[in-house]
Structure 1
Amino acid sequence: MPLETPATGAREQLAALAARAARPGFAGGGLLDGSEAGPGTRAAAVLVLFGILDDRPSDRAPEAALSRDLDVLLLARAATLRSHPGQVGLPGGRVDPGDEDVVAAALREAREETGLDTAGVEVLGPLPPLPLEYSRHLVTPVLAWWRRPSPVRVVDVAESAAVFRAPVADLLAPANRGVTVLRRDGAEWRGPGFVVRQDAGEFLVWGFTAMLLDGLFTELGWTEDWDLDRELPLPPQ
């Protein structure tokens, strides 16, 4: 079994990725390569916030020698929302006219959705924007490190059902991974999925957020071998 490295080692890996992404010609192995905005596309941003976020580390040591207390901040959207109801995602939303840039938008949305004290967040840098074709958004992931953790919670029950911190070691566990299949209007979309178990219940991370995390973990060399044929059932649509 590999020895664990401090969670701050993961921070250095994330910072190095953000630095690479800022250089011209960055190639992120496919998913993280970015995309240009199409006609009618709206700009959005999400905060991908890692850190030593709580006192409940994973009970398993990941193969990548990551610390068991490395977490990422996620939230579950309210089931009553018209857009992506009940889905697990990263804090974020549209870039507003008053936002200075995508980084400011990601921090503002995270503060509004989770009560996060953004003064304790170290922004490492944005990744190339990614298309969310179904809702016609171009989403910029903003990598960040939680250097001074603060309490988080559901701020508005009309927007979110849960806010939680998922251990990265659990997300990487092959037993918690699988493929999701969305069939709609005669078409089929396949993508990665992650099962997350929290006090608030069991959640499935799929769709855009799962693809982003999967691409990020792969780019960082954290991904463990998992069953590409295992299908995870989607929640009722």
Structure 2
Amino acid sequence: MSRNDHTEPRPESRRALLKNADVLAAHISRRLFDIGRSEYGTGADPTERGSGASAVLLLVGHQGGRGPCLILNKRSARVPQPGDICCPGGGIAPVVDAFLSKLLVLPGLPLGRWPYWPGWRREKAFHGGAMPLLLATALREGFEEMRLNPLGVRFLGPMPPFCLRLFKRKIYPMVGWISRQRRFRTNWEVEKIIRIPLAWFWEIDRYANYRVTFSRSVARQANRITDDFPCFRFESESGAELLWGVTYRIVMNFMESVLDFHPPDTAGLPVIAGRLGGRYITGK
């Protein structure tokens, strides 16, 4: 596939990062801490009851000799947004996640191992308490959806939150690194596990516009009949896939802020047509 040199800054530095897992993980963690210091320093507590907050886990790790990959889920036909590629995650379970959050800060556990946790806790007296709860939610959901081993996750840091307009939710991505787990067992919410090598995101021919036509019921909620969304095309073990929507935005924010990559402008990109019906929203 062709590549665009303008969107590929510092290729030698990038190749060096992708080649060394420890260097890449340390680089990601340092960047996320710097970003989080400004993003989480002010504003309302994201874990307040009624806030509509959800936490998701953006997983990175080496999988099967393809270099570092993003490890994502494809939603099953039994849930809302069927067929979408997403990060494992969901809403906060106040009692369970509050209990788990107290364990995560212990030495040897994911947040206790994060080298920036002591500094974060000192600087974020208010939001320091939110971080363990959001991470606990993301790890619990990862275990439920794909039997992710939470003890095998190296926490790398938080990303800025994203708003999901159609579902009126705010999503808080937590980034984790896994180095040992290769096999996962999905539950009824997940059709399959998706792995995307990070190196693929520099291949400009993979980007397109996803032109969505909404059914009448969805158009009423969305206040429009059609809309264009940037998307990323790739091939999984079982066929062609499309990354779009909020997960695309999360991934592109990660690529821009951590790896200095900027996706191509959507003008002139090929168009892929799609349609969303009422079942996309309700899951029924």
Normalised by the size of structure 1, how large is the TM-score? Answer: 0.80
Show the counterpart of 1:49.
59
Other structure's SS at 1:15 match? helix
Q: How does 1:7-86 map to 2 (within 5 A)?
A: 7-24=21-38, 41-55=51-65, 57=66, 69-81=67-79, 83-86=80-83
Contact 2:209/2:231 (8 A) holds in 1 = yes
- AA at the equivalent of 1:84: Q
Would you tell me which structure has more helix in proportion to its own residues? 2
Show the counterpart of 1:162.
192
Select which of 166, 169, 179 maps to 1:134.
166
Show the counterpart of 2:181.
149
Show the counterpart of 2:235.
197
Alignment pair present for 1:209 and 2:209: no
Other structure's SS at 2:166 match? helix
Greater Cα offset, 90-99 or 6-15:
6-15
Contact 2:75/2:85 (8 A) holds in 1 = yes
Contact 1:78/1:160 (8 A) holds in 2 = yes
Greater Cα offset, 114-123 or 213-222:
213-222
Show the counterpart of 2:206.
176
Contact 1:179/1:192 (8 A) holds in 2 = yes
Provide the rounded CA distance (Å) in 1 between the counterparts of 2:45 and 2:207. 30
Contact 1:193/1:232 (8 A) holds in 2 = no
Provide the rounded CA distance (Å) in 2 between the counterparts of 1:228 and 1:212. 17
Greater Cα offset, 6-15 or 224-233:
224-233
Contact 1:183/1:189 (8 A) holds in 2 = yes
Contact 2:71/2:196 (8 A) holds in 1 = yes
Provide the rounded CA distance (Å) in 1 between the counterparts of 2:62 and 2:43. 28
Show the counterpart of 1:63.
none
Provide the rounded CA distance (Å) in 1 between the counterparts of 2:43 and 2:57. 16
* Structure 1 residues 86 and 92: alpha-carbon distance in aligned structure 2, compared to 1, 3 A threshold: same
Alignment pair present for 1:219 and 2:257: yes
Structure 1 position 12, deviation (Å): 2.1
Other structure's SS at 1:149 match? coil
Structure 1 position 70, deviation (Å): 1.1
* Structure 1 residues 206 and 134: alpha-carbon distance in aligned structure 2, compared to 1, 3 A threshold: same
For this pair of structures, how many residues does the alignment match? Answer: 217
Provide the rounded CA distance (Å) in 2 between the counterparts of 1:73 and 1:14. 16
Other structure's SS at 2:170 match? strand
Gaps of 5+ in 1: 28-32, 58-68
Structure 1 position 119, deviation (Å): 1.2
Provide the rounded CA distance (Å) in 2 between the counterparts of 1:49 and 1:208. 16
Q: CA RMSD in A?
A: 2.8
Other structure's SS at 1:134 match? coil
Contact 2:212/2:275 (8 A) holds in 1 = no
Other structure's SS at 1:217 match? helix
Show the counterpart of 2:146.
114
Other structure's SS at 1:86 match? coil
Identity %: 24
Provide the rounded CA distance (Å) in 2 between the counterparts of 1:197 and 1:143. 23
Gaps of 5+ in 2: 1-10, 99-132, 277-284
Contact 1:181/1:231 (8 A) holds in 2 = no
Other structure's SS at 2:34 match? helix
Structure 1 position 224, deviation (Å): 5.6
Provide the rounded CA distance (Å) in 1 between the counterparts of 2:160 and 2:27. 17
Cα-to-partner distance string for 1:135-183 (whole Å, 9 max, x where unaligned): 1111110011113334223x22x31111122111123311111222334
Provide the rounded CA distance (Å) in 2 between the counterparts of 1:181 and 1:41. 31
Provide the rounded CA distance (Å) in 1 between the counterparts of 2:253 and 2:36. 17
Structure 1 position 79, deviation (Å): 2.3
